[in-house]
Amino acid sequence: MRMPAASLPFPGLRVRLRAVHLAESLMLVFFAVVMGLPVLFLLWSSLNVAAPGKEAVYGLANWIRGFSDQGTLSALWMSFLLSVVRLIPAMILSVMVAWLIARTDMPGGNTLEFLCWFAYFIPDFPLVLAWILLLDPSFGFLNALAGALPFVEGPVFNPYSFWGIVWVHTSTNGIWFKVMLLTPVFRRLGASLEEAARVAGASNLVTLRRITLPVLAPMVLAVAALSLIRGLESFNTELLLGLPAGIYVYATRIYDYTRQEPPAFGEATALGSVFLLVLVVLSYFYWRYLRGKRFIVVTGQAYSTMRVKLGKWRYWALAGCLVYFAVMMILPLSFLLIGSFMRRYGFFDIASPFTVAHWRNLFMDAIFLSSLKNSLIIATATALAGIVLYSTVGYLVASRKSRGAELLDLFCWLPWVVPGILMSLGLLWLFLATPLRSVLYGSVWGIALAMTIKDSPVSTQAFKAAFLQLGPDLEEAARVTGASWGYTYRRILLPLVAPIAATVGLLNFGSALTSISTPVLLYSAQSRPLSILLMEYSFTGELERAAALGLLITLIISAMVLAGRRLGLKLTGS
Partner 1 sequence: MGLKVMSLGAGLLLSFAAAAQAQSDWKSEWEKTLAAAEKEGEVALYGAYRSGVREAVSEFSKRYPKIKFNHVAGSGSELANKVMAEKRANRHFIDIAVGGSGTMVLVYFRGGLLEAMSSAFILPEVKDPSHWWGKKHHYADPEGGFVLMAQGDVNTRIGALNTKLVKADEIQSWWDLLSPKWKGKIVMTDPRSRGNIGNWRYIYYNPELGPDFVRRLLSETEVTFSSNERQMMDWLASGKYAIYVMAKDEDLAQAMKQGLSVDFLESRKEMAELGTGSGHIAFFKNAPHPNAARVYINWFLSREGQTAWQKYTGGNSFRADIPKEMLPNGKAQAPKEGQKYLFTSHPQYEDIRPLRRLVEEIFAARRK
Q: Give the C-alpha distances (Å, rounded to integers) separating 414 from 46, 251, 362, 402, 444.
A: 17, 16, 36, 20, 23
Residue 141 Cβ vs partner 1, minimum distance, rounded to whole Å: 12
User: Which residue, 125 or 275, is less far from partner 1 as judged by CB?
Assistant: 125
- Tell which residue, 219, 209, 211, 221, has the closest CA to residue 286: 221
Q: What Rg do the C-alpha atoms of the chain give, in angstroms?
A: 25
User: Which residue, 157 or 523, is less far from partner 1 as judged by CB?
Assistant: 523
User: Which residue, 345 or 509, is less far from partner 1 as judged by CB?
Assistant: 345
Pinpoint the alpha helices (H) of 174-263: 176-188, 192-199, 204-207, 213-215, 217-233, 236-237, 250-259
Residue 512 Cβ vs partner 1, minimum distance, rounded to whole Å: 19
Residue 346 Cβ vs partner 1, minimum distance, rounded to whole Å: 6
Residue 548 Cβ vs partner 1, minimum distance, rounded to whole Å: 15
Residue 3 Cβ vs partner 1, minimum distance, rounded to whole Å: 48
The three-state secondary structure class of 342 is strand
User: Which residue, 16 or 253, is less far from partner 1 as judged by CB?
Assistant: 253
- Tell which residue, 375, 412, 381, 415, has the closest CA to residue 505: 381
User: Which residue, 141 or 313, is less far from partner 1 as judged by CB?
Assistant: 141
CB 340 within 8 A of CB 363: no
Q: How far apart are CA 47 and CA 227, in angstroms?
A: 30
Q: Give the C-alpha distances (Å, rounded to integers) separating 352 from 26, 175, 335, 347, 382.
A: 62, 38, 17, 10, 43
Residue 389 Cβ vs partner 1, minimum distance, rounded to whole Å: 25
Residue 185 Cβ vs partner 1, minimum distance, rounded to whole Å: 38
Residue 8 identity (one-letter amino acid) = L
Residue 330 Cβ vs partner 1, minimum distance, rounded to whole Å: 23
User: Which residue, 94 or 269, is less far from partner 1 as judged by CB?
Assistant: 269
The three-state secondary structure class of 354 is strand
Residue 432 Cβ vs partner 1, minimum distance, rounded to whole Å: 4
CB 130 within 8 A of CB 241: no
User: Which residue, 129 or 448, is less far from partner 1 as judged by CB?
Assistant: 129
Residue 245 Cβ vs partner 1, minimum distance, rounded to whole Å: 9
Q: What 8-state DSSP symbol labels residue 56?
A: P
User: Which residue, 122 or 533, is less far from partner 1 as judged by CB?
Assistant: 533
Q: What 8-state DSSP symbol labels residue 104?
A: B
Torsion 186-187-190-195 (CA) sign: positive
| Cα 520 to chain centroid, rounded | 19
Q: How far apart are CA 205 and CA 336, in angstroms?
A: 37
User: Which residue, 258 or 374, is less far from partner 1 as judged by CB?
Assistant: 258
Q: How far apart are CA 43 and CA 426, in angstroms?
A: 10
Identify any residues that bridge with 308 across adjacent strands, giving them in sequence order: 104
Burial class (CB in 10 A: 0-12, 13-18, 19+), 51: exposed
Residue 532 Cβ vs partner 1, minimum distance, rounded to whole Å: 7
| Cα 356 to chain centroid, rounded | 33
CB 439 within 8 A of CB 446: yes
Residue 353 Cβ vs partner 1, minimum distance, rounded to whole Å: 9
User: Which residue, 118 or 257, is less far from partner 1 as judged by CB?
Assistant: 257
User: Which residue, 326 or 432, is less far from partner 1 as judged by CB?
Assistant: 432
Q: Which residues contact 361 (CB under 8 A, 6 or more apart)?
A: 545
Residue 176 Cβ vs partner 1, minimum distance, rounded to whole Å: 24
User: Which residue, 30 or 429, is less far from partner 1 as judged by CB?
Assistant: 429
- Tell which residue, 181, 196, 147, 450, has the closest CA to residue 306: 196
In the chain, how long is the greatest CA-to-CA distance? 85
Phi-psi region of 476 (alpha: psi -120 to 50; beta: other; left: phi over 0): alpha
User: Which residue, 199 or 364, is less far from partner 1 as judged by CB?
Assistant: 364
User: Which residue, 397 or 534, is less far from partner 1 as judged by CB?
Assistant: 534
User: Which residue, 55 or 403, is less far from partner 1 as judged by CB?
Assistant: 55
Residue 54 Cβ vs partner 1, minimum distance, rounded to whole Å: 7
Binding-site ranges for partner 1 (CB under 8 A): 51-54, 70, 129, 132, 136, 138-139, 239-240, 243-244, 256-265, 343-347, 350-351, 366, 421, 425, 428-429, 432-433, 437, 441-442, 520-521, 523-526, 528, 532, 535-536, 539-543
Residue 52 Cβ vs partner 1, minimum distance, rounded to whole Å: 5
Residue 532 identity (one-letter amino acid) = I
Residue 519: which H helix or E strand, with range? none
Q: How far apart are CA 436 and CA 464, in angstroms?
A: 31
Residue 399: which H helix or E strand, with range? helix 368-399
Q: Which residues contact 327 (CB under 8 A, 6 or more apart)?
A: none
